[in-house]
Amino acid sequence: MSEKILVIGANGQIGTELVTALRNQYGAEQVIASDINNPAYAIRNSGPFEFANVLDKENLHHLFHKHQPTQVYLLAAILSATGEQKPKLAWDLNMNGLIHVLDLAVEFGTAKVFWPSSIAVFGPNSPKQNTPQYCIMDPNTVYGFSKLAGERWCEYYHAKHGLDVRSIRYPGIISWKAAPGGGTTDYAIHIFYEALKTGTYQSFLSANTMLPMMYMYDAIRATLSLMEAPAENISIRSSYNLAGMSFTPAQLAEQIKQQMPDFSISYADHDPRQAIADSWPQSIDDSQAKTDWNWQPEYDLKRLTEEMLKNLKNSLNL
C-alpha cells in the first residue's frame, strides 16, 4: 500500500526540511504539507499544501477525511522561550493539538503518528550529565511540562487504542535553511548569522552553558529511522532520548574562530532564557535509541560549524 503522509506544522524549523525529505522518499504527491500560515516557497511549489489549525478539530477532521493519511507528523507547537511569554496559549496549542490528532488518528485508522518531544521535559532535579531515559522529570517551563504531559498521552493512546505513536526528545536543533522558532537553544543558530554579517555576537546564554545539540541533517535522519523501524523494535512509547553533541557558547565561538579568526563573542546579563537552559541536561544518554533502531549521529561540532558557515555564506550571498 502506498503511503499518504500528512505533516502538520510544516512551516517550522523541522517541518520545512522534513517535508522535503519525505517528498524525496515517498513522492511529492504523497506528502501533504499543512500549516496555519502560508508555506515557504519550496514547500508550496513542490507538492500539495493545506491550511490547518491544530486547535480547530473540525478543520483537522476534514483533512483526515479528505486525505486518509497512513502517517501523520504533528510538528505544530509553541517553543520554550515563546511559551513563557504566552503560557496559556502554549499549553492549549501543545496539548489540545496533540489530543485532537491522536483522536483523529484512532478514528481514521492512521497507521503511524510522529510527535516530537524535547529535552525540556527534564528539570532542575533531573541528572545533568548523561541524563538517562528514565529519571526524575520536573520541568519548570510550560513548554517542558506540556511535552511531558504529551508523552504520557502518547503512551496512553498506544496502550488503550493500539495507536502506533512514536516520539523523540529532540535536543537543540541547528539548521541554516529555516529561521529558529523561539527556543532557548536558538543562540547556536543566531551566532552563525551574526558571525558572517558583523563578525561579532552577543550570546544570551553564559559562556559555559553546556547544552545537548544536533545538526538538522541528523535530526531528520533520526526521525525517518524511527518511523521506518519495525513496530516490534519500538520499546518506548513515551519518547526516546536522542543525542548528537554537547557544547557551550564559548566552545562554539572557538570553532567559529578557527574558520574566522577575527570573530568575537560577548555575553548578555540576566536574560530569562538562562534560567531555562540551567534547568536542562548538559548531555543525554540515548542508548535505547541506539539499541532499538540503530541510531548513530554523523555530525560533531567541527563538522557542524564548517557546514553552517559554508551553507549560510551561500544563502546570504556573502
Catalytic residue annotation: 143
Give the span between the Cα atoms of 292 and 99, in whole angstroms.
26
Centre a 10 Å sphere on the Cβ of residue 174 and count the other Cβ atoms it contains: 28
The packing angle between helices 97-108 and 142-161, to 10°, is 20
| CA-based torsion, 37, 3, 107, 79: positive or negative | negative
Give the span between the Cα atoms of 181 and 9, in whole angstroms.
12
The runs of H, that is alpha helices, within the chain are 13-26, 41-46, 57-67, 80-85, 87-91, 97-108, 142-161, 187-197, 216-228, 249-259, 272-278, 287-293, 301-315
The runs of H, that is alpha helices, within 120-232 are 142-161, 187-197, 216-228
Give the span between the Cα atoms of 289 and 67, in whole angstroms.
31
- 37: burial class by Cβ within 10 Å (0-12, 13-18, 19+)? exposed
CB 48 within 8 A of CB 10: no
Give the span between the Cα atoms of 195 and 180, in whole angstroms.
16
| CA-based torsion, 205, 209, 214, 215: positive or negative | positive
Give the span between the Cα atoms of 262 and 258, in whole angstroms.
9
